Amino acid sequence: MHISNGYTYMLSIIQFLNTLAEIVPVELLCLDSSEDIKKYLNNNLGIELHENLNVVQISNKKFGIKSNKLFFIGNVLKYLEQYKSDKLVVYTRDFKQMRLAIKNLKSDNSNIKFVFEAHQILSQNYCREREYKKAKEMKELENFVFSNVDDLICITSTLSSEIKKVFPACADNHHILPVGFNKEFLNIQHKENKKYDVIYSGNFSEWKGLDVLIKAVSIIKHQYQRDIKAVLIGANDQTKGQYENQAKELDVFDNIEIVKRVEHKKIYDYIAQSKIGVLSNKYDADGLLFTSPLKLYEYLGSGLKVVVSRLPSIESNINESLVYYATPEKPESFAKEVIRALDDDSFDIDKVKKFSKNYTWESRSKSFVEFIS
């Protein structure tokens, strides 16, 4: 069995495919070379490219066409022609790739199975941005893909329900498969004397609510009169300056360390020195229903206590007994839950780590193979 994927190889996709290759042969069709992918994995995660993950660089040398994103999909179709009679799974998260693959490769006699992974409903994003022409075009594209794939992966049950509501004709074979995390988080050895009370690592987008977290640190320091040290990892020059200025204004500059993006494997060291992981996502339209935060599973797997925004997409997967839920966009609520977590001696780390094992990339890969077989 072969699994083929498109050019968008974010870290999560690479980790998933690399783990999937432990079970079935995988081909990754992309614009990058095998050496590029090897460096990417090693530099970011410190792991090796699995021998069963064959990276196929779709290049102009092989197909005589300039290999940018505009021509990539056509080149992929040319490559897949050789597998028409084989048992093949085409997997992607790109709508245009999937539409062309279905139109050109799907037939009654075909042994190809088409699997699409959905993380959101893009047409709704365009509507919120008042780009109604793009929204209409995207909804038609989404409807085609959702209605014609053999299997549809949804990262949350709330996303699956929303797709069925918005696209009544879509396929019934939905599979709920949250994002996974690197099993190395399970092996983090925590330091006895922690440097940080709170850690956040990831994207510094506005909807991540880091301004809320900084306000919560201020409340803990000034209202609760508690010593507090937080580290926020993943900033660029602009966001580092932005949030450092906020920390100065709230008189918590010395309480918050803002770090630029680091290699993924270095996050282990920061987590080992931390007590609580915080995810302060705001009431973003997508976050309410669709987010399946990778960091949440990494924090739980590493044995951290976790304070997280109470959002439907998260509550549908994570039981109240495993995390400390705070009200989104309410610094007072986050301050209260951080204090509660710091003072909670009943935290069952074994229970949390046992639960989190269901969300490793290995677990996700096994579930994937089960429903495509």
State how far the Cα of 362 lies from the Cα of 54, in Å rounded to an integer. 18
Query: Binning pLDDT at 50, 70 and 90, where does residue 7 land?
Result: very low
Q: Where in the chain is the domain with CATH 3.40.50.2000?
A: 2-180+360-372, 183-358
Q: Are 324 and 300 in contact (CB under 8 A)?
A: no
State how far the Cα of 172 lies from the Cα of 197, in Å rounded to an integer. 45
Compute the average pLDDT of residues 156-160: 88
2-180+360-372 has which fold?
Answer: Rossmann fold (3.40.50)
Query: Binning pLDDT at 50, 70 and 90, where does residue 292 land?
Result: low
Q: Are 270 and 231 in contact (CB under 8 A)?
A: yes
Compute the average pLDDT of residues 197-208: 93
Compute the average pLDDT of residues 112-116: 92
Compute the average pLDDT of residues 29-39: 83
Helix (H) or strand (E) holding 19: helix 11-20
Residue-level pLDDT at 2: 46
Radius of gyration for the chain, computed over Cα atoms and rounded to the nearest angstrom: 22
Answer yes or no: is pLDDT of 63 > 70. Answer: no
Residue in the structure block whose two tokens are 């893909």: 145
Answer yes or no: is pLDDT of 166 > 90. Answer: yes
Compute the average pLDDT of residues 264-283: 93
Answer yes or no: is pLDDT of 108 > 90. Answer: no
Which pair of tokens denotes residue 30? 């992309």
Give 333 or 180, the one with higher predicted confidence. 333
Q: Any idea what DSSP says for residue 254?
A: G
Answer yes or no: is pLDDT of 81 > 70. Answer: yes
Answer yes or no: is pLDDT of 359 > 70. Answer: yes
The CATH code of domain 183-358 reads: 3.40.50.2000
Q: What percent of the chain has pLDDT over 70?
A: 90
Question: Largest alpha-carbon pair distance within the chain?
Answer: 71
Compute the average pLDDT of residues 46-74: 70
Helix (H) or strand (E) holding 65: none
To the nearest whole number, what is the mean pLDDT of the chain? 87
Compute the average pLDDT of residues 175-198: 93
Instruction: Strands of the chain (E only): list them.
Output: 2-5, 26-30, 53-57, 88-92, 112-118, 151-154, 174-176, 196-201, 230-235, 256-260, 274-279, 305-309, 324-326
For the ranges 47-51, 71-75, 141-145, which has the lowest average pLDDT? 71-75
Residue-level pLDDT at 290: 57
Give 30 or 8, the one with higher predicted confidence. 30
- pTM of the entire structure? 0.85
Residue-level pLDDT at 128: 84
Query: Binning pLDDT at 50, 70 and 90, where does residue 8 land?
Result: very low
For residue 42, with 0-12 CB atoms within 10 Å meaning exposed, 13-18 middle and 19 or more buried, which class applies? middle
Q: Any idea what DSSP says for residue 61?
A: H
Give 373 or 215, the one with higher predicted confidence. 215
Q: Are 333 and 341 in contact (CB under 8 A)?
A: no
